[in-house]
């Protein structure tokens, strides 16, 4: 990535944060009944796969308004440092969680020393970044043996494929210009190239945020069955990404 492209990407994300700061969770789909259930399940993945506790010193990349920061902190009481490029989103996050350290940082060029954090995690953030550059930085600040846990959009999901690749739909859905999504086997190659090991990437989540409350229980049950079904599982909405340094 050239310096000009990087600066442009950062500007896009800062402008995007300013634009959505008052209704970010609505745009991201976390405020609906189905969205809230999806968020709880996603937070469970972070806590369980990261194996966090009150002694853990962990870094959250792209904390936004702190929706997942709060969920993870409430369960684990971990020492969380949460970063985002958008000061507008950080200001909202700081109002909710005084016990968390919030910092404005570029995830592709962080100020932290090597081998600082026990774990690094984040929700729907890597697809905003130059993936190789971001993963190299994450690898650098992570302690040896430490895990990463991320949840990201799955490019093989039909809606996400269209949303990330058709420009006018991308704008209409509220995406920032540089957003993309991931194909899990390609991402695994990138993680391996950088040096990560014990890599596990699996598709999950068929519960769309627009599902009516009366249908949530049924769709949840169907979704769990789909997640175990070969081929069908590959079009789930999200990917869980786990690896160790």
Per-residue burial over 60-71, b = 16 or more CB atoms within 10 Å of its CB, e = otherwise:
bbbbbbbbbbbb
Residue 134 has pLDDT above 80, yes or no: yes
Torsion of CA 237, 182, 82, 90, to 10 degrees: -80
* The two three-digit tokens of residue 233, written as one number: 């599982």
Read off the pLDDT band of 26 (50, 70, 90): low
Higher pLDDT, 239 or 163: 239
Read off the pLDDT band of 4 (50, 70, 90): low
Return the pLDDT at 9. Answer: 67
Higher pLDDT, 151 or 86: 151
Read off the pLDDT band of 2 (50, 70, 90): low
Q: What backbone torsions phi and psi does residue 201 show, to the nearest 5 degrees?
A: -130, 120
Share of the chain above pLDDT 90, in %: 76
Read off the pLDDT band of 22 (50, 70, 90): low
Q: Which domains does the chain have, with CATH numbers?
A: 3-244 (3.40.50.150)
Return the pLDDT at 124. Answer: 94
Q: What pTM was computed for the model? A: 0.92
Rounded CA-CA distance 194/137 in Å is 10
Read off the pLDDT band of 20 (50, 70, 90): low
Share of the chain above pLDDT 70, in %: 90
Tell me if 139 sits within 8 A of 194, measured CB to CB: yes
Mean pLDDT of the chain: 91
Q: What number is the average pLDDT over the span 49-58?
A: 96
Read off the pLDDT band of 216 (50, 70, 90): very high
Burial label, 96 (beta-carbon count in 10 A; 0-12, 13-18, 19+):
middle
Residue 60 has pLDDT above 90, yes or no: yes
Instruction: Count CB-CB contacts under 10 A for residue 112.
Output: 16
Return the pLDDT at 6. Answer: 64
Rounded CA-CA distance 245/198 in Å is 9
Rounded CA-CA distance 59/77 in Å is 13
Rounded CA-CA distance 124/46 in Å is 12
């Amino acid at each position: 990535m050239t310096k000009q492209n990087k600066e442009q990407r950062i500007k896009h994300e800062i402008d995007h944060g300013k634009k959505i700061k008052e209704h970010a969770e609505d745009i991201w789909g976390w405020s609906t009944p189905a969205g809230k259930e999806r968020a709880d399940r996603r937070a469970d993945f972070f806590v369980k796969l990261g194996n966090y506790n009150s002694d853990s010193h962990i870094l959250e990349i792209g904390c936004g308004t702190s929706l997942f920061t709060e969920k993870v902190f409430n369960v684990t009481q971990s020492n969380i440092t949460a970063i985002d490029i958008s000061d507008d989103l950080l200001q909202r996050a700081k109002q909710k969680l005084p016990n968390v350290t919030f910092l404005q940082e570029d995830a592709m060029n962080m100020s932290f020393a090597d081998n600082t954090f026990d774990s690094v995690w984040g929700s729907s953030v890597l697809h905003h970044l130059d993936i190789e550059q971001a993963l190299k930085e994450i690898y650098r600040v992570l302690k040896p043996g430490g895990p990463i846990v991320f949840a990201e959009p799955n490019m093989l999901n039909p809606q996400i494929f269209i949303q990330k690749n058709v420009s006018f739909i991308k704008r209409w859905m509220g995406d920032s210009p540089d957003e993309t999504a991931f194909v899990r086997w390609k991402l695994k190659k990138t993680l391996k190239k950088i040096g990560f090991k014990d890599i596990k990437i699996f598709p999950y989540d068929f519960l769309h945020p627009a599902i009516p409350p009366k249908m949530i229980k049924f769709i949840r049950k169907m979704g769990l069955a789909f997640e175990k079904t070969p081929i069908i599982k590959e079009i789930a909405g999200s990917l869980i990404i786990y690896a160790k340094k």
